[in-house]
Amino acid sequence: MGKHFNQALENYLAFLEIERGLSSGTVEGYNQDLSLLGKFLSSEIFSGENWTLEDIKGSHLRSFLQYAYRKRKNKTAALNRKIAAISGFFQFICREPEYSLEENPALNLSRRKEEKKLPQYLTLEEAGKLLQTIKKKSWFPERDYAIFALFLQTGCRLSELAGLEINQLYLEEGYVLFRGKGAKERTVPLAESTKIALREWLALRKPSTETSRVFLNRYGKPMGKRGIQTNLKKFLKQAGLNRPGLSVHKLRHTCFTLLLQSGVNIKTLKEIAGHTSISTTEIYTHITGEEIVENMKKHPLLREDAIKYRSFPGNRGYLGKRRNKGR
């Protein structure tokens, strides 16, 4: 790549990670996009490595985006991520005196308009059917019921649930502490039925290695994201809900859709979701913890006439004599 480009990229990624506090996944995505830009400039624009940051023009950046669209078949969302990465990168460079870049070549780049798609989600009846299917069909019903009840009640992310540790559960106090994108923390109230499900699972939890992760696989080791995704696909099929587009992330959509339909205000919903944009952060300042607790009680899955939680019979050891199939 060109002179100083690699060093500038490393500095920018460090800025995103340390000062902006962005998640490792977001930082890696920006790294891939900007590294691809550097390679494109060397091979297609300057025919070699002998170029500098000052040589880059807006037309070169548009040629790169055209390449991403035509040759790499990037859709609107991928193109917009590249535009965001490029714009942020050059804003950073222009602020840093060591690069002496007087003009920002990305200044006039505009994001493409994205088509708004309605998110896939389960209805209240479908969510109840999924949970009941898990209780009847899962090889490890206590664990899997607790996992998917937690998804549907709190709207947590897959990474948040897979990484959940025991010290993040405050069952007596009635809430869970999630560590979301950029290591940001938030607390979400737990329904009584979800607390019971978690206690049922914790009573059976028997790790085979030293770990504080809440959810373990059949070998007693921390359960990975892929295992959770595989199990959901299996349970959806068993419940007759295996339609295209449903995934673990759609359980997050399900939670927020059901809450919104039940009258929870959008401000509280964004707090529960853990969104991190500046605009959503500003409105969080008007929301108290009591408002969140009261609004969470409106979750339709928590009504008395909705899904009632029944304890599982017996007190079987997780790795004891029980069914030995499944994840």
Please give the chain's pLDDT, 327 residues, in tens. 656 899 999 999 999 988 888 878 889 999 999 999 999 999 999 988 889 899 999 999 999 999 999 999 999 989 999 999 999 999 999 998 888 788 999 999 998 886 666 667 898 999 999 999 999 999 999 999 999 999 999 989 999 999 999 999 999 999 999 987 767 788 999 999 999 999 999 999 999 999 999 999 999 999 999 999 999 999 999 999 988 888 998 898 888 888 877 877 777 777 787 765 434 323 323 444 555 677 777 777 766 555 555 666 655 555 444 555 555
Amino acid identity for residue 29 in this structure: G
What is the reported pLDDT for 285? 32
- What residue spans in the chain does CATH classification 1.10.443.10 cover? 124-302
**Active site includes 157?**
yes
Please tell me the distance from the alpha carbon of residue 58 to that of residue 81, in angstroms, as a whole number: 17
The answer to whether the Cα torsion of 24, 207, 192, 174 is positive or negative is negative
Check 129, 157, 186, 299 and give the catalytic one.
157
**Active site includes 181?**
yes
Among the listed residues 49, 45, 115, 44, the one whose alpha carbon sits nearest the alpha carbon of residue 79: 115
- What residue spans in the chain does CATH classification 1.10.150.130 cover? 5-99
**Active site includes 275?**
yes
H-run or E-run covering 59: helix 58-70
**Active site includes 286?**
no
Its CATH class, for the domain covering 124-302, is mainly alpha
**Axis-axis angle for helices 24-40, 5-14 (nearest 10):** 170
Check 82, 186, 252, 299 and give the catalytic one.
252
Check 62, 225, 233, 249 and give the catalytic one.
249
**Active site includes 62?**
no
Check 253, 275, 298, 316 and give the catalytic one.
275
Give the strand pairing for 175-179 and 185-189. antiparallel
CATH of 5-99, one of 3.40.1440.10, 1.10.10.10, 1.10.150.130, 3.40.50.1100: 1.10.150.130
**Active site includes 233?**
no
Structure tokens at 312: 């599982």
Please tell me the distance from the alpha carbon of residue 154 to that of residue 315, in angstroms, as a whole number: 27
What is the reported pLDDT for 326? 55
Check 226, 284, 297, 322 and give the catalytic one.
284
What is the reported pLDDT for 307? 58
Check 135, 181, 199, 298 and give the catalytic one.
181
What is the reported pLDDT for 40? 95
